[in-house]
Amino acid sequence: MKAIVDCNSFYCSCEKVFKPELNNKPIVVLSNNDGCIISLNDDAKALGVKMTGPYYQAKPVIEKYNVAVFSSNYNLYGDMSQRVMQTLKMLTGEENVEVYSVDECFINLDHIPAAELCKFALHLKKTVEEWTGVAVSIGVAPTKVLCKVANRLSKKNKKETKGVMVLHNEQEIKHALQKTAVTDIWGVGTRYALKLQSNNINTAWELRNTNEEWGRKNLGGIVGVRLIKELCGDPCGEIKEPLKVKKMITTTRMFGKPVTELKYIKEAVATYISRAAEKLRRQSCSVKTVHVFVVTNDYADVYKYNPQTRGSRVILPVATSVTNNIIRYALPLVDKLFCEGSRYLKAGVIFSVLEPDDCIQSNLFSAAVKNTRHSLMETLDNINFSMRDDAVKFVSSGLTRNWKMRQELRSGRFTSRWEELKEVR
């Protein structure tokens, strides 16, 4: 048996942990630059506030009912996520936990007797909530897809299920699948849902009873077959070990306001390269290929949105993790991408073709250069980690950074900044 542990309205829950006065009050959290609503609790949903809707459209309702509004606070959310996942690893064993996203993880429960699954799931839920303050829901079933079905139903009727649902047997699985529309199945997107409905397949139970060959032809080949098998209770995906070395590193952010000057885009790209290089060094790797991209929207009306993405890449002579070397080769790409008169909304960098530091491939046509700057980079990383906020940075990253992402309603970074610790009186 497996379980999925899902944090309820995770971003809102994180805000509530440090603001107990928000208990039983509506809360919403906004996206980058305070543009859209990306998280809301049940109280906000009851008022008619919509997920992913533009903030300006929901503002009248938010102000009328005094809804608490926060900008995204990724420092806080990331730290709280680690606390939740670490708690689950302590309770079930690290080898049994697969972190699926910032607010979800799958857990292997094969070592728990069937008769004790519900009791153990309730114990997990109670302990996580007591230790971290973050409310969770848990679905237990033979496969990952069925776990998602159970978890969704556990949230729909929290008073009855207490936030935990266990699908022990065929009868319980049948009942759960009959109550689940195909649009609510994990892995079924809008296009496939419409195809299923056009073939008179409207519930998860009807999809489960569909021929596997039909699923192969109409639901993406082997992916469709696996989905049907998982609905039938045949596991097709086991608990995966965490990925210790990433194969690709991406750093990107929206600008706080549209940017039109080349120097600001260069500052942003240099800053993102610095962030990506820190991640690169943490896994003892070097990068060979750097891709730089920008996103433009040339409509003057802020409510008209037609983004266009342009990108270019450079292959370094020798793979490196030294920030200034990467900046030197990557910044000229910005000159190629920049078009006078365009309004830039976003920029980013992607590191690919990563090589371990202990086996970097030399360049036959370049003179061998001994890498003597690892100590400098290590010192730089240590200072910035302890002092925060780029205490030491390359001048190409800019000094004022007027292009930074807008977070006008951000709460304190209570768990990662000494100067922002919560005050208790």
CATH number at residue 312: 3.30.1490.100
Can you give the pLDDT at residue 375?
Answer: 83
Out of 134, 168, 202, a domain closes at 168
| CA-based nearest residue to 74, from 420, 311, 413 | 413
Let me know whether 83 and 188 are in one domain.
no
Task: Kindly report each contact of residues 301-308 with a partner whose C-beta sits within 8 Å and lies 24 or more positions away, as own/partner.
Answer: 307/345, 307/346
Let me know whether 14 and 121 are in one domain.
yes
Can you give the pLDDT at residue 400?
Answer: 79
Share of the chain above pLDDT 90, in %: 58
Can you give the pLDDT at residue 254?
Answer: 87
Strand, coil or helix: what is 316?
Answer: strand
Q: Does residue 418 belong to any structural domain of this protein?
A: no
pLDDT (tens digit per residue) in 14-29? 999 999 899 889 999 9
Higher pLDDT, 288 or 301: 288
Out of 118, 141, 168, a domain closes at 168
Let me know whether 203 and 262 are in one domain.
no
Total domain count, the chain: 3
Q: Does residue 175 belong to any structural domain of this protein?
A: no
228-237, 331-340, 344-353, range with the lowest pLDDT: 228-237
In angstroms, what CA-CA distances link 38 with 19, 45, 278, 302, 319? 19, 12, 28, 19, 38
Q: Does residue 404 belong to any structural domain of this protein?
A: no
Pairing between β-strand 97-101 and β-strand 104-108 as defined by DSSP bridges: antiparallel
Let me know whether 257 and 341 are in one domain.
yes
Domain hosting 226: range is 180-242
Q: Does residue 424 belong to any structural domain of this protein?
A: no
pLDDT (tens digit per residue) in 238-290? 777 666 678 899 999 888 888 999 999 999 999 999 999 999 999 889 999 99
Between CA 238 and CA 318 the distance in angstroms is 38
Mean pLDDT to the nearest integer, 190-219: 91
Name the pLDDT band for 369 (thresholds 50, 70, 90). low
Out of 168, 194, 217, a domain closes at 168
Query: What six digits make up the tokens of 420?
Result: 């922002």
CATH number at residue 73: 3.30.70.270
CB-based contact 161:153 (threshold 8 Å): yes
